[in-house]
Amino acid sequence: MPKTITVEKTNGTDDRPTTGRAGSSRSKNHKAARRALRLAYRTRRGMAPLYATAAQAIAGSALAAADDGWKTALTATVAGAATTAAWGRWDGRIGKKRLRKRLPARRDFIAAASAVTTGGGLVTVMAATGGLQPGHSPYPALVAAWGIGHGIYWWRRGKKTAAPVPALSRQLQDWQDNVACTDGPLPGSALRDVITTDYGWTAVVVLHKGTWKKAVAATGDIAGALDLPEEMVQIEKAVGQSARRAIIAVFDRNPLQDGTAHPGPQILDKATGQAEVGIFYDGKPARYAFWKPSGPVHSVVYGATDGGKSRFLDMLLGTERHNGIVSWVCDPQGGQSLPRWREAVDWYEDTAQGGLAMLYDVRNVMYERSARYSLMEWTDHKGRVLRGRDHFVVDDPDPLISVTIDEAHRVLALPGAVALVLEIVLMARKCGIKLRLVFQGPKANMFGAGPESTDIREQLQSGNTVMFRTASALTDSIGLPGWEVNPSQLPMYWPDGTSTAGLGYIKGPDNRQAQFRAHFDRDPAHWATTGETPTVEKSAAAVCSKAYSERLDRLAARLRGETPVLPDDAFTTAADSTRLTPSTDPIVQAAAAIAAEAPAGTDDKVLAFLAERGRPVGRVTIAQETGLTVSAVKNALTRLKSKGQAVAVDRGIWAHPDHAETPADPTELADAA
C-alpha cells in the first residue's frame, strides 16, 4: 500500500517579508524615474524652453525663502549677462590660431541676451517679493509669457527640415566651371584648403594627371579662365607635398605693390651667413646667402633698366660695410650706378680697366691665402689639431672679401678677363672671396667671348641668382634653368602707375619659384657714411699691385676732376711679380708654386708646342706630348692667352695665333667634347 504524507495547515503569521509588494514598488519607482530622466535628456533641445521656465519658477520661489535671496539672484543675473556678452563678441586667438571657428549670428546673440537678462530680472523680482505666489499674483503669467516668447524663437530656429546641399564657395565653383572642366586648362583638377587672405585667396591645386610644372605652365590660361589679369595669379611648387600638387595664389591686389622698407644691416644672420633681403608674395622672408659652412657663395644679378639692381646692390653693400665684410666695387659706368660707395668701400673703381686690375689683385690675394691656409694649423670639431684647412671660416683669421662688378660685360670684354674670372670663380671660395657680377640679362655674349663664358655663368648661377624684370623672354630659362618662371613678363608699373623696381625672382636658400620684392632703402647714404670701412689683412694687401695701394690717390685725383692712370703693374699676378720670387718664406714660396702649378718654363714649352703643331690642338694632347699635367697645361694656356700668345678656338681646343684659322683635327674635337 502506498505511503501517505499528511501536511498540517497553520494560521500563524510568518515573520519573513513577502516579496513583491513594498520591494517591487520601490524598484518600479526607480525605473520610472530613470526613464523620465532619460526622456528629459533626449528631449533636452526641444524642451529647453519648458525646462528653463520651470527652473525660473522654482528658483524664484526657493530664493524668496531666504532674507537676501534677491541678492543671489541679482548676482547670477549680472554674471550671466557678462558671460553672454563675452560669448557673443569674444574672438580670442593664440598667435595666428583662432580659438573658435565662428561667432554666433547677430539674431542668436540678441535672443540669448534677452533670455538671460529678462529671465534673471524676473527671478530677482520674485525672490524679493515672496516667490511665484499663484493666484492673483502676475508672476505665473509673466513666467509663462517668458517661456512662450523665447520658446517660439527657439523652436523656429531648431525646426527640423531637409538638410540642404552645402553650397560650394565661389572659388571652388569658379574652378570647377572654368578650369577643371573637360575643356579647361587643367581638366579633372581640384582645389583643396582654400584660404581667404588679405590680398585674395590661396589654395592647393591637386592635378588629375601630371606634375606641378603643368599647373605653373598653365598660369596664363588659368588666369584667362578665371577672367583675371595674368599678373594676379601666382602658382608655385608645393614644397614637401606630392608632385601633383601646386600652390596657387590669386590676388585682388598684389601684396608686393606696397613693398617693404629696408630695416638695416641687421638683416644678416652671422650664424647662418644668410640675409633677409625682401619678402615673397605671402609675406615670408626672401633670403640671400653671403656664405655657408663651406665658404662664400658667388652671385649673379640680372635685370633690365629700372629693374631695381642698383638699389639692391646698395642694400648688400651697406650690409657688408656694417658686418665686417670687405667690399671691392667696380662700376664701369663712371661710378653713376653706385656713386655713394666711392669712399665707403675698401676699393672702388669706376672704369672697366680698373675692374680688370682689381680682378688681377683678387687672384693675387686668392693664391696668397691659399698658400697660408694649406699650411695653417687649426682645431677640428673633435679637438684634433690639424695642418692645412680646406675651407674658409669668416674672420678666422681673415675677413670675407666680396667683389661686386656692375655692368660686368664691359670688364669681361677686355682681353684676358674671361679666363681670369673663370679661374677666380673656380678657386676663390675656399680662400674667402665672393664674386658678384651684375648684368642686364643672361645672354652668353654678356659673359665674354670664348667657351669659358658658359662655365662662368654656370658657376655663378649655382650660387645666388637674383633676376629682376628682364627685356627678353628668350633668356628667362637661361638665367634660371629648370624654373618655370617668366621674369620678362613682370610688369614695369603697378596699376596705380608706380614702378615695380625690386620685383623679381631669387634662387637662394629658400629656392622658391615665387615672386619676391627686395627691401627698398630710401636712404642708402646713411649706411655708406656711418660705421667703419672693413679692409683686407696686411698679408693680402702686401701681394696686391700698386693699383690697390694707390687706390686712394687715384680717387682723390678723380674727385679733383683729373683722369688718373693705372700703374704699370696693375695687370700682373703675384706669380709674375719679382716681389715673391726671391723670398725664403715657405708660405710665399708655396704661393708662387700654387700660382704656377708647374715647373719654370712651362709656358715656353706649351708655346713652342703650339707653334710647332701648326694647327689647333686639345689640352689633353698637349699634356701627353709635353709630359705636363692637364692642370699645368690649362693654367699655362690661360697665361698665354692673356699675353696674346694663344687662342681658344673651341672648348678645350687651343692654337698659336698664327694657326687659329687652320681647321682642327676631328679627333681632337671628339676628345675635347
Taking a C-beta distance cutoff of 8 angstroms, is the pair 344, 529 a contact?
yes
Rounded Cα distance between 325 and 261, Å, is 23
pLDDT at residue 4, as a whole number: 47
| Span 172-196, average pLDDT | 89
Q: What is the pLDDT of residues 402-441, one digit of tens each?
A: 999 999 999 998 888 888 999 999 999 999 999 999 998 8
pLDDT at residue 577, as a whole number: 40
Q: In the chain, where does the domain assigned CATH 1.10.10.10 lie?
A: 597-672
Q: What are 257's three cell numbers?
A: 605693390
Position 158 confidence tier, pLDDT thresholds 50, 70, 90: low
- pLDDT at 275 exceeding the cut of 90: yes
CATH number corresponding to 265-465+522-571 = 3.40.50
Q: In the chain, where does the domain assigned CATH 3.40.50 lie?
A: 265-465+522-571
Q: What is the pLDDT of residues 232-265, one digit of tens each?
A: 888 988 888 889 999 999 988 888 888 899 999 9
Q: Is the pTM of the predicted complex or chain greater than 0.75?
A: no
The CATH label, of 1.10.10.10, 3.40.50.2300, 3.90.1150.10, 1.10.3450.40, for the domain at 597-672 is 1.10.10.10
- pLDDT at 22 exceeding the cut of 70: no
Q: What are 364's three cell numbers?
A: 693675387
Rounded Cα distance between 120 and 575, Å, is 97
327: which strand partners?
Answer: 402
pLDDT at residue 587, as a whole number: 46
pLDDT at residue 673, as a whole number: 47
Rounded Cα distance between 254 and 263, Å, is 22
Over the chain, what is the mean pLDDT? Answer: 81
* Long-range contacts formed by 635-640: CB under 8 A, 24+ apart: 635/423, 635/596, 635/597, 635/598, 635/602, 636/598, 636/602, 636/603, 636/605, 636/606, 637/606, 638/419, 638/420, 638/423, 639/603, 640/603, 640/606, 640/607
The rounded Cα 315 to chain-centroid distance in angstroms is 18
535 φ/ψ sector (left φ>0, alpha ψ -120 to 50, else beta): beta
- pLDDT at 268 exceeding the cut of 90: yes
| Residues in CB range of 444: below 8 A, 6 or more apart | 453, 454, 457, 478
